Amino acid sequence: MSAKTIVLVGNPNAGKTTLFNQLSGLHQKTGNYPGITVEKKKGKFSYKGISYNLIDLPGTYSLCPSSADEEVVLNILSNPQNPDYPDCVVVVGDVHNMKRSLFLYEQIQDLKIPTILVINQIDSIEKEGILIREENLPKYFKTPVILVSSRKRKGIEELKEAISNGVSEQPEQIFHYPEEFRDAVNELKNEYSLDDYLAWLFLTQVKTKNIPEKYRDRVTEIVKKYKLIPKRLQLKETISRHQLIDDLVEKVVYKDPTHQTFTNKVDKIVTHHFWGYFIFFCILFLLFQTLFYLSSYPQDWIESVFVDSSEFLSDFLPEGPLSELITHGIIPGISGVAVFVPQIAILFFFLLLMEESGYMARVVFLMDRWFRPVGLNGKSVIPLLSGAACAIPAIMSTRNIENSKERLITILVTPFITCSARLPVYSIIIALVIPKGEGFFNPQGIVMMIMYLLGVIMVFIGAFIADKIVKSKYKSYLILDMPNYKIPFWRNVFYGLFEKSWSFVANAGKIIVAVSVILWAMGTFGITQENEKTDYFANVSLEDSYLGKFGKAIEPVFEPLGYDWKIDIGILSSFAAREVFVGTIASIYSLEDNGEENLKLKELMGKDINRNTGEPTFNLATGVSILLFYAFAMQCISTLAVVKKETNSWKWPIVQLFTMTGIAYISALTAYYFLT
């Protein structure tokens, strides 16, 4: 017997992800829907000997999508041929926003798919002046209704039991479309043997790509024939449904209008026009101080482990190319990135805390005031904050921005945000050229924060310029759901922390191993001529190797910025991925015969002398120049590929590549000139 498919559907911030984690445990995987860069989560669970496939669909407010992630929900629920089409839909409703939740629930119910309603987040409703009249639930709902606190696992077993029992009763259709549209609905309905509501739903879609392909042309013809305006059809349905929902909510949920919730009280400060920004700035300050203060201890330990491992393998393995490759190529390369995992984990930890606690929505609200004048809206802050982890998923997440102009501008400026791949570069350079303070207060943390703020400033400048170039006749408005504040669900936080940190290590590791092998080969071998015989694979010094000659060949391009040929190679290798810079530098220094062994990377870099100037290679001027170059340059092939896919054009990634790299070069040149 094949496993049944259960899908979770609900509004954003309804607690759907937490419920998904509780049902599936760790039996889950993530991926993208075919042909679309919207993440989907799939999991499994068993109950009473029956296996179930569990799918967490993107959050949506209705079956009339306004963004790409919402389109996924309609595509699956309206198409029985879709491989993810469910045997049962679990609609996750937030007890604090029942009207919105019931709107989506009734739409899905009218699709005639077996449906279960979960009323979530009931653990603290009494403190918030909310009372659910449980005795009225069976009277007014014709499908199972389960009261759940997914954070405290309350109601999870009852939900599994309801899924196991199945939903046999098919309630009558709730919404009946106006009589004036009957001919149009019947024409589509009869031609394809569709249910009444599904035919109506197809006619209400502003974009026909939201519906299965076989209906698109016919829907367009009928809309033109009957001169239908889809938005007006949606409005009629909304008004009709809400008249019934308002009455229903009064019968099942009581809300004390005089009760002041904890969320209301905190929001008076957190969203204040002055204190809100002050608190946000303090959180950022704390984050960057913590990055350096707490991470220094595990970093030293990780680096020592790699140095000791390299020394042990060097003594243990027989001399030869394999030993050299492992000890002077692969290990230093991987060490160059692994050592910065503690800092990346701390960054992810803060971002996940902000998201889990409900604070992230307040950041969106605060930033809307700043983003609006430069052609963005508050929703752009989610991709921009996500960009602090990685620009690739951040650019994908712009799909929840409805306005196409604002979405494009967000895509164009997101790579300015300092991503976790830049963090290893910033960390090693700042540690070399900025003195370390005493105790928790650390000037290096201040400089790191400045680097992040530089990215934010460039976002505003870039968006302002793009707003003047990219034209749009539509104006957007921020519609935002403010979730209640809650104590973070630590299982979600630590699972997300592990998932994101491991993803960084695994993805960077693949590239670094490949680059390390190439660099070792290029840095070990060169051309020699002896007795009129040319040896193309002779063991030579680093400077005479293929790598050394290539670095010296491109040195004139970057010499005005204060870089030597070793840094040049690191810069070029960074176009595969920015974090490769540190791994590349580590590999180069491990290949160089400097008469000193088992020194840590920072010590090797600190002792290096630039052969052109006779001064330390990594001095203040060169260090600031490198920091600025990495702050602004577009050095990520994968990001360019995603921009091409999201904009469906090579025009915008090419504009990004040349514009950002040009800004980076000029900024680095100016800084080096003034500091020397």
Calculate the CA dihedral of residues 641, 646, 650, 653 and round it to 10 degrees: -60
Distance (Å, whole) CA 343 – CA 36: 32
Which residues, 6+ apart, have CB-to-CB distance to 613 below 8 Å?
A: none
Predicted local confidence at residue 33, as pLDDT: 37
Domain ranges within the chain, ordered by starting residue: 4-165, 179-255, 498-675
What confidence category does residue 32 fall into, taking pLDDT thresholds of 50, 70 and 90?
very low
The torsion angle over the Cα atoms of residues 117, 120, 122 and 125, rounded to 10 degrees, is -100
What integer is the mean pLDDT of 457-467?
A: 89
Cα–Cα distance measured from residue 23 to residue 7, given in angstroms and rounded to the nearest whole number: 12
Could you give the percent of the chain with pLDDT greater than 90?
A: 10
**What does the pLDDT look like over 40-78, one tens digit per residue?**
688 888 988 889 999 988 888 888 887 777 788 888 898
Mean pLDDT of the residues in the chain: 80
> Which tens digits make up the pLDDT trace of 341-373?
777 777 778 877 887 787 877 887 787 778 888
Residue (of 255, 247, 204) closest to 63 by Cα position: 204
**How many other C-beta atoms can be found within 10 angstroms of the C-beta atom of residue 350?**
17
Q: What is the CATH number of domain 4-165?
A: 3.40.50.300
For 499-541, write each residue's pLDDT tens digit.
Answer: 777 766 776 666 667 766 776 777 677 778 776 677 666 777 7
CA–CA gap between residue 411 and residue 376 (Å, rounded): 11
Cα 331 to Cα 315: distance, rounded to the nearest angstrom: 15
Q: What is the CA radius of gyration of the chain?
A: 29
pLDDT range class, residue 669, cuts 50, 70, 90: very high
Instruction: Please write the tens of the pLDDT for every residue from 407-448.
Output: 888 888 988 988 777 877 888 888 888 887 666 667 887 888
SS3 465: helix
